[in-house]
Structure 1
């Protein structure tokens, strides 16, 4: 049996490849999706917990601003085009998640996530 570190890295590698296959044609990377997915729409309340993450994602934010998907103000937020892109890309990502979790029940998925979360916490 291979150790958990092998499987964590292999899953990450395969998720990255699947993102590229599904979204690469649209010029969207997995990291850009992650940023796009947490940006507030103009009517949304800003998630202050995401501020440190977003401040470390300046280059990704620049790309989203350049595309017209986000705008900078007091906070960075989605534009209407960005909201539409997030919805469209989100549908693709939902399909990817469903493929990755195929055959895994909710309880097993929750155990896997909680186990990884605990291992991370143990190493903090």
Structure 2
């Protein structure tokens, strides 16, 4: 089933990038999938590409240059129409309760998933994307 949304993975770990991309491609037939190695690259990609359809962001928390929390602060400065068409899912291996609460309390974050996550989680989240 083709998805109308554009997908970007914002993640610095190459193995996590590979696994997440494979799950999206093989399990959900999503293609293309864009990759950003940190939050700054993610913001730059969004500003350069001006996604017209909905945008799905799979965001890591701990990254160099610009982490997930800093990304969310920059995301807040983007145009309202773009923010309304975007869903952000945070994927993290953090066990820090304060970080998890901060993620879940962010108005732009649709859900928090612990790595490694299962394909069923993606399927359920993107059934109506």
Give TM class, smaller chain.
under 0.3
- The answer to which structure has the higher strand fraction is 2
Higher relative contact order (CA 8 A, sep 6+): 2
TM norm structure 2? 0.23
Higher-Rg structure is 1
- The answer to which structure has the higher helix fraction is 1
TM norm structure 1? 0.23
